[in-house]
Amino acid sequence: MNLHEYRTTFVVGTLVLTLVAASPTLGLVLHLPGGEAFSELWILGPGHMAEDYPFNVSSGENYMVYLGVGNHLGYSAYYAVYVKLRNETESLPNSTSGTPSSLEPLFEDEFFVADGEAWETPLNFSFSNVQRFESTTLVKTLMVNGVSFGVDKPALWDSNNTGYFYQLFIELWIYNSTAEGLQYDSRFVGLWLNMTST
């Protein structure tokens, strides 16, 4: 090996060792593109697991699930969750167009979540003033986390699934600084509830 080849090998080796030694510091300065930025929304059953969700419900009984939001956006975000109740004929949010349900929210909660963190809260609900007329059930009152709402929501008998079905669902909204307001984040979760046992 001549002097020129020895010098080139030495310079290249020194550069490689310098880059390896400086890599932890470079990670703090260089921000390489990460994975997909997203928010997550979930409901867990009363045992804090993805099981034992309320289904067969009765008037006057209390039910509880856990509602959670995770932030994987790369920055802190301001969120809102809107709780809504629908029967089988009313619309859900449209996943294709990213539009929320046209139903009015019954209950809402607003909160900040730091990047990489999660927010979770119990969601307690109960029904009262439930009436039955031939092939229709009418839910007059829904209580969510201690707040009572007049809903006057009918459900027709579903002979295929043998029940009077409602869906309690939650939409996720996020603050958009450009629009200076909350906007639907194209995420929702829900629970089907059978009011037959009332």
The Cα 129–Cα 138 span in angstroms is 8
pLDDT at 196: 83
Task: Starting at the earlier edge strand, list the strands of the sheet with 181-194.
Answer: 107-113, 77-87, 165-176, 181-194
pLDDT digits (tens, 9 = 90+) for 82-94: 999 999 999 999 9
Asked if the model's pLDDT at residue 43 lies above 60, the reply is yes
Asked if the model's pLDDT at residue 7 lies above 90, the reply is no
Contact yes or no for 69/39 (Cβ under 8 A): yes
Task: Starting at the earlier edge strand, list the strands of the sheet with 118-133.
Answer: 38-44, 62-72, 118-133, 136-144, 147-156
The Cα 104–Cα 129 span in angstroms is 20
Asked if the model's pLDDT at residue 20 lies above 70, the reply is no
Give the DSSP letter string of 35-89.
Answer: S--EEEEEEE-TTSSS-----B--BT-EEEEEEEEEEESSS-EEEEEEEEEEETT
SS3 7: helix
* Residues paired with residue 69 on neighbouring β-strands, in sequence order: 41, 119
Where in the chain are the domains? Answer: 1-32, 38-194
Topology annotation, domain 38-194: Immunoglobulin-like (2.60.40)
Asked if the model's pLDDT at residue 3 lies above 70, the reply is no
Radius of gyration of the chain (CA): 26
Contact yes or no for 38/69 (Cβ under 8 A): no
Contact yes or no for 171/187 (Cβ under 8 A): yes
Mean pLDDT of 50-72: 96
The Cα 158–Cα 181 span in angstroms is 40
Q: Is 50 exposed, middle or buried (0-12, 13-18, 19+ CB in 10 A)?
A: exposed
Contact yes or no for 105/84 (Cβ under 8 A): yes
Q: Give me the percent of the chain exceeding a pLDDT of 90.
A: 74
The Cα 126–Cα 141 span in angstroms is 8
Asked if the model's pLDDT at residue 30 lies above 70, the reply is no
The Cα 59–Cα 144 span in angstroms is 14
